[in-house]
């Protein structure tokens, strides 16, 4: 069906159409002349229709009206020409190739074509019931003011009120355009294009984007009455509001109605609902509305404000209320009164502690993290307990039957052991005899809760599939870091709540918006702990560190970050021992040996390739000389082509080998020249043959050839000559290495027996002051200084990379700073937490205080007299180093040193440093015992928001509900490295915010 007549003056014989859908976008122009032509025409544009009305400050550039039901992509410019002059079409067409500013996001036309502006309106061809003479497309172009080089395009489709009922027919509902209209409840238009959510009023305008979509809070929900006894804790107002919202959803309150693809249209339509999937309209009393009501949701409160306690309160206030449930089935599954909690391994014990804190021993709790607990728990136990806590990792334990048979839920599918019509006695016998031989997918739980819900998407397929198989009366997800950055992601989260969004959402963009507005809530209450103190320490590399770093600049950003923290990772240090911390001298020696080996191999590769090229050139010359005598033309051409292809391949290989050889040789030479020039001097004076200073004080500049000068002299020589003043070798920009004398030594701790930590009683190796680099040394100083102030100080060291965390932990232990590592099996995790919490003079506080926002950040230079704190003396330690035990999660723990305060009485130092890696699943850990959170390095990701979110996860382990101490958030970075660049960029971003 084609378009009707085009007019630039608007309809003159009919009343203005009132029902309006609109979209708008903005594009920028380069010069004022691009808009000047519009203004001349705008003076002639009739202003009779409401679309021509503009604000006083706006300049109307033109309007266009197309009467009909279909706008063709190819014909759109033709319609525009009828309503506007050729200059508009030319400028608009130019913007198609250059890219336009689209809702604040600059995007190129390869990702966004101008036709997407009109795409939904082109779908009107499906509305055969609508009178074509009563449907109009309008385009209005305005300029904000005469000083801005921008133009706003608004496109509308309008029809008369008396034609509106035609949009309710089954035929009309088949059209995507009308489906989208009803998906927004018959209200102003809403659509998503390239992550942009359009939510318009009659005048148009963009509300927000999906990337920055604000999840609703619960401030509009009236708080409920707090949980009654024996619930021991008192909830805050925001928790009571969230609890009321969760209760309302589980109770099926009409005011909180939400069902997938079933849209309420409001009072204007007499409580009418549209079912987009069934292509029908429903009344409010329809039975379908009751059965499709979604009794699930996501609580996305910020980390540390009490999601766990609120969830336990929900379980307490909405218990299972069917007394005759046991040994009965629902949809082929055994009914259970339990709330099933699926959680990361490291917080399973924490969940049980919180349940006991709230409800004591009035409830039964089963915790399954390994084979042992699974084998002694019967299926009947799962049906009759109040809470069953299961780790995500257990779902892929080979002993778990659900892992063997995941994806099948109905009990009748399992070996024919039970028929669905079996008697109650048969069911009782079946569930009692099942120990270590059942699946959670056989059970319909009262409630399923998935903690750290955002992590489910990143789990293995086996875990994800099993979580999706879980059945319950209600399903809840808990997350402190929600990520709804795309329609696809929202659909996946909805799928886990048994909504089946990916397959059934008719209009996924609008449904994503509705899902978040109706079934996701996030509270960000005021800070409930003393404001933290922020400190930043800049570290300067020692000369050998600087040389090693400079010789490795070809590495990736991630590896350079690792290199700034420990020199055993990120370079050519493979095979040096994954968990054995080595000194920088040993690492550099090993790396240089590896480089030398690779250089020799590359030299052989170059020689071999050159020889091959010589032979191929001879073969080609011989071919040209004699080939024509023995081959016909076709075979001759084929052989010539094959020889040339081999020559081309060999040339490419030679070029690659020579490039790699040059890079590696440069790294090797640079470091060797540095060693021979600087380190070989020992305590001797270093001269500068430019300014003739016979003892350089301060910064020294070393060039790649190995010669050294005053740094300022070397820089000046490069600017003037671009060559080394001593040997005349060329110098490239950035190749002058700036070095300083080594930093002061760190004294080792002295234990209770008079021995130095880091030195064994049988004559172990003496502690090397430059052993692991400047940053670890400065962190050791800081930890010792802070520990001297209070024996109760506990430190979280948060690192992005797991392998780096292992080596830093080993290095700290070598310095006499004992660490525990949250990693691997759940038994080892729990053991690490027990070691960390041992020896405290009092338990971590549980009371919450409402205190103002955090204090500002202060920066201290650890190598200057302005350092804070100023006292850098090395306090004496107490006791010896103790080793932590490693456990297999399916085996009983070995005997270990006691972890209570009595360990100090026996001369053993308590573990005061807990090492966390972002890749070791730290989400949800409650570590309010810590007084310090050390971010050892700026986190890195190609998406900076993800990196910042990871850092916040570490901080949130300490700054959370129950924290009464004033916590220090401490950051370290190395000057003149990739770390400084990342840190300063982030700080500028925070300042702008």
* pLDDT tens sequence across 44-89: 443 334 444 445 555 444 454 444 433 333 444 454 444 444 444 4
Q: Where are the alpha helices (DSSP H) in 520-630?
A: 543-550, 557-565, 584-630
* pLDDT 10s digits, 725-765: 777 777 766 667 776 644 444 444 444 344 444 433 333 23
* pLDDT 10s digits, 921-941: 666 677 888 899 999 988 888
963 vs 183: which has the higher pLDDT? 963
The three state secondary structure string of 672-709 is HHHHHHCHHHCCCCCCCCCCCCCCCCCCEEECCCCCEE
The confidence score (pLDDT) of residue 473 equals 94
Strands of the sheet with 700-702, listed across from one edge: 708-710, 700-702, 737-739
405 vs 343: which has the higher pLDDT? 343
Buried b or exposed e, range 544-556, using 16+ CB within 10 angstroms: bbbbbbbbbeebe
pLDDT tier at 24, thresholds 50, 70, 90: very low
The confidence score (pLDDT) of residue 451 equals 93
pLDDT tier at 143, thresholds 50, 70, 90: low
Q: Is the pTM of this model over 0.75?
A: no
Question: Can you tell me the mean pLDDT for 122-149?
Answer: 48
Q: Does residue 867 carry a pLDDT above 60?
A: no
Query: Cis omega before residue 299 (within 30°)?
Result: no
* pLDDT 10s digits, 545-568: 776 676 666 677 777 777 777 655
* pLDDT 10s digits, 256-315: 988 888 887 765 666 788 888 888 888 877 888 888 899 999 999 988 788 999 999 999
Q: Hey, is 827 helix, strand or coil?
A: helix
Which range of 142-146, 309-313, 392-396, 530-534 scores highest in mean pLDDT? It is 309-313
User: DSSP assignment of 273-310, as one string?
Assistant: EEETTTTEEEETT-HHHHHH---EEEE-PPTTS-HHHH
293 vs 880: which has the higher pLDDT? 293
pLDDT tier at 964, thresholds 50, 70, 90: confident
Show the domains of the chain with their CATH numbers. 3-212 (no CATH), 295-521 (3.40.50.10810), 584-697+699-739 (3.30.40.10), 774-888+911-992 (3.40.50.300)
Compute the residue count for the chain.
Answer: 993
The confidence score (pLDDT) of residue 261 equals 83
Question: Can you tell me the mean pLDDT for 947-956?
Answer: 81
Q: Hey, is 710 helix, strand or coil?
A: strand
* pLDDT 10s digits, 755-793: 444 433 333 233 344 567 778 888 888 998 898 888 889
The confidence score (pLDDT) of residue 391 equals 92
The confidence score (pLDDT) of residue 562 equals 76
Compute how many other C-beta atoms are within 10 angstroms of the C-beta atom of residue 56. Answer: 4
The confidence score (pLDDT) of residue 573 equals 43
Per the DSSP assignment, residues forming a β-bridge with 449 are 341, 476
Element (H, E) at 28: strand 19-28
953 vs 734: which has the higher pLDDT? 953
Q: How far apart are CA 74 and CA 53, in angstroms?
A: 29
Of 155-164, 751-760, 858-867, the poorest mean pLDDT is in 858-867
Question: Can you tell me the mean pLDDT for 636-648?
Answer: 83
967 vs 910: which has the higher pLDDT? 967
Is residue 799 within 8 Å of 922, Cβ to Cβ? no
Q: Where are the alpha helices (DSSP H) in 45-123?
A: 76-83, 86-98, 119-122
Question: Can you tell me the mean pLDDT for 800-810?
Answer: 80
203 vs 221: which has the higher pLDDT? 221
Instruction: Report the chain's mean pLDDT, rounded to a whole number.
Output: 68
Of 178-182, 319-323, 614-618, the poorest mean pLDDT is in 178-182
Q: Does residue 10 carry a pLDDT above 60?
A: no
* pLDDT 10s digits, 423-444: 778 788 888 888 888 889 889 9
The confidence score (pLDDT) of residue 734 equals 65
- Tell me how far apart the terminal alpha carbons of the chain are, to the nearest angstrom: 51
Question: Can you tell me the mean pLDDT for 972-977?
Answer: 88
571 vs 608: which has the higher pLDDT? 608
511 vs 892: which has the higher pLDDT? 511
Q: How far apart are CA 152 and CA 203, in angstroms?
A: 12
Question: Can you tell me the mean pLDDT for 206-229?
Answer: 73
Strands of the sheet with 19-28, listed across from one edge: 3-7, 59-68, 135-143, 150-159, 19-28
Is residue 606 within 8 Å of 661, Cβ to Cβ? yes
Percent of residues, the chain, with pLDDT higher than 70: 56
Of 132-136, 352-356, 684-688, 714-718, the poorest mean pLDDT is in 132-136
The confidence score (pLDDT) of residue 590 equals 64
* pLDDT 10s digits, 76-126: 445 444 444 444 444 444 444 333 332 222 322 222 233 344 343 333 333
Of 9-18, 173-182, 343-352, 433-442, the poorest mean pLDDT is in 9-18
Question: Can you tell me the mean pLDDT for 523-551?
Answer: 78
120 vs 157: which has the higher pLDDT? 157
Question: Can you tell me the mean pLDDT for 453-472?
Answer: 85
Q: Does residue 868 carry a pLDDT above 60?
A: no
Q: Which residues contact 20 (CB under 8 A, 6 or more apart)?
A: 156, 157, 158, 188, 202
Q: How far apart are CA 167 and CA 161, in angstroms?
A: 11
Q: How far apart are CA 359 and CA 276, in angstroms?
A: 45
């Amino acid at each position: 069906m084609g378009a009707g007549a085009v007019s630039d003056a608007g309809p003159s014989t009919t009343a203005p159409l009132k029902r309006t859908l609109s979209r708008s976008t903005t594009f920028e122009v380069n010069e004022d002349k691009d808009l000047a032509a519009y203004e001349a025409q705008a003076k002639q544009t009739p202003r009779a229709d409401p679309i021509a009305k503009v604000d006083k400050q706006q300049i109307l550039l033109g309007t266009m009206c197309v009467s009909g039901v279909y706008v063709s992509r190819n014909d759109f410019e033709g319609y525009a020409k009828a309503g506007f002059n050729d200059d508009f079409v030319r400028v608009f067409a130019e913007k198609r190739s250059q890219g336009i500013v689209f809702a604040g996001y600059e995007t190129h036309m390869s990702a966004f074509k101008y036709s997407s502006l009109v795409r939904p309106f082109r779908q009107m061809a499906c509305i055969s019931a609508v009178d074509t003479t009563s449907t109009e497309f309008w385009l209005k172009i305005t300029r904000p003011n005469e000083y801005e080089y921008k133009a706003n395009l608004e496109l509308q489709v309008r029809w008369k009120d008396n034609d509106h009922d035609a949009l309710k027919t089954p035929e009309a509902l088949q059209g995507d355009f009308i489906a989208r209209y009803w998906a927004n409840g018959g209200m102003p238009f809403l659509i998503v294009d390239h992550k942009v959510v359009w939510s318009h009023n009659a005048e148009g305008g963009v509300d927000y984007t999906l990337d920055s979509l604000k999840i609703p809070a619960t401030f509009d929900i009236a708080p409920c009455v707090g949980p009654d006894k024996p619930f021991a804790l008192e909830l805050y107002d925001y928790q009571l509001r969230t609890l009321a919202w969760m209760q309302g959803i589980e109770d099926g309150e009409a005011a909180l109605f939400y069902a997938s693809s079933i849209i309420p249209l409001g009072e204007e339509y007499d409580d009418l609902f549209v079912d987009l999937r069934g292509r029908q309209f429903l009344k409010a009393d329809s039975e379908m509305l009751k059965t499709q009501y979604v009794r699930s949701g996501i609580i996305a409160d910020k980390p540390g404000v009490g999601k766990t306690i609120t969830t336990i309160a929900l379980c307490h206030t909405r218990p299972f209320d069917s007394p005759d449930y046991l040994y009965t089935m629902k949809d082929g599954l055994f009914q259970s009164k339990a709330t099933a909690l699926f959680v990361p391994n490291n917080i399973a014990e924490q969940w049980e502690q919180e349940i006991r804190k709230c409800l004591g021993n009035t409830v039964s709790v089963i915790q399954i993290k390994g084979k042992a607990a699974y084998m002694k728990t019967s299926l009947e136990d799962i049906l009759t307990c109040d809470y069953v806590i299961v780790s995500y990792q257990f779902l892929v334990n080979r002993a778990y039957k659900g892992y063997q048979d995941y994806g099948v839920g109905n009990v009748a599918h399992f070996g024919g052991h039970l028929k669905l019509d079996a008697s109650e006695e048969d069911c009782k016998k079946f569930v009692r005899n099942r120990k270590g031989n059942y699946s959670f997918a056989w059970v319909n739980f009262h409630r399923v809760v998935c903690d750290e819900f955002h992590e489910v998407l990143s789990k293995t397929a086996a875990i994800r599939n099993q979580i999706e198989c879980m059945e319950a009366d209600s399903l809840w997800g808990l997350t402190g870091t929600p990520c709804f950055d795309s329609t696809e992601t929202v659909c996946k989260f909805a799928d886990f709540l048994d909504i089946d969004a990916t397959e059934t959402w008719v209009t996924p963009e609008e449904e994503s918006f509705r899902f978040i507005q109706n079934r996701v809530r996030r509270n960000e209450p005021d800070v409930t702990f003393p404001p933290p103190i922020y400190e930043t320490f800049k570290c300067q590399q020692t000369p050998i560190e600087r040389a090693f770093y400079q010789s490795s600049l070809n590495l990736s950003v991630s590896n350079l970050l690792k290199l700034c923290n420990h020199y055993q990772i990120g370079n050519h240090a493979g095979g040096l021992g994954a968990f054995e911390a080595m000194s920088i001298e040993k690492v550099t020696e090993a790396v240089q040996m590896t480089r030398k080996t690779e250089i020799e191999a590359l030299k052989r590769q170059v020689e071999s390739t050159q020889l091959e090229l010589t032979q191929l050139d001879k073969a080609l010359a011989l071919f040209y000389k004699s080939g024509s005598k023995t081959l016909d033309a076709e075979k001759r051409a084929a052989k010539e082509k094959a020889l040339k292809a081999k020559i081309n391949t060999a040339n490419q290989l030679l070029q690659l080998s020579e490039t790699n050889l040059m890079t590696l040789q440069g790294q090797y030479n640079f470091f060797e020249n540095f060693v021979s020039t600087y380190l070989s001097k020992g305590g001797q004076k270093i001269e500068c043959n430019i300014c003739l200073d016979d003892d350089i004080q301060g910064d020294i500049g070393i060039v790649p050839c190995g010669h050294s000068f005053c740094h300022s002299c070397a820089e000046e020589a490069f600017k003037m000559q671009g060559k080394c003043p001593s040997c005349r070798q060329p110098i490239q920009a950035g190749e002058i290495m700036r070095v300083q004398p080594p930093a002061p030594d760190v004294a080792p701790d002295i234990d209770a027996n008079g021995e130095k930590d880091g030195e064994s009683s049988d004559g172990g190796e003496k502690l090397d002051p430059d052993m692991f680099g400047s940053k670890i040394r400065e962190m050791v100083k800081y930890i010792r200084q802070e520990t001297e102030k209070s024996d109760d100080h506990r430190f979280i060291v948060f690192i992005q990379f797991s392998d780096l965390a292992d080596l830093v932990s080993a290095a700290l232990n070598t310095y006499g700073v004992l660490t525990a590592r949250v990693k691997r099996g759940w038994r080892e995790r729990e053991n690490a937490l027990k070691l960390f919490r041992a020896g405290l003079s009092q338990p971590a506080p549980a009371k919450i205080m409402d205190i103002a926002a955090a204090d500002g950040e202060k920066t201290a230079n650890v190598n200057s007299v302005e350092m804070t704190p100023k006292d850098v003396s090395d306090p004496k330690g107490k006791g010896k180093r103790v080793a932590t035990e490693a456990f297999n999660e399916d085996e009983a723990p070995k005997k270990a040193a006691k972890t209570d305060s009595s360990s100090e009485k026996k001369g053993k130092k308590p573990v005061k440093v807990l090492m966390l890696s972002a890749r070791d699943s730290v989400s949800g850990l409650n570590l309010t015992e810590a007084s310090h959170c050390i971010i050892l390095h700026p986190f890195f990701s190609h998406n900076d928001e993800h990196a910042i979110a990871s850092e916040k996860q570490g901080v949130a382990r300490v700054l959370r509900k129950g924290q009464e101490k004033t916590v220090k958030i401490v950051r370290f970075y190395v000057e003149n490295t990739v770390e400084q660049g990342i840190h300063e960029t982030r700080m500028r971003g925070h300042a702008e915010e």
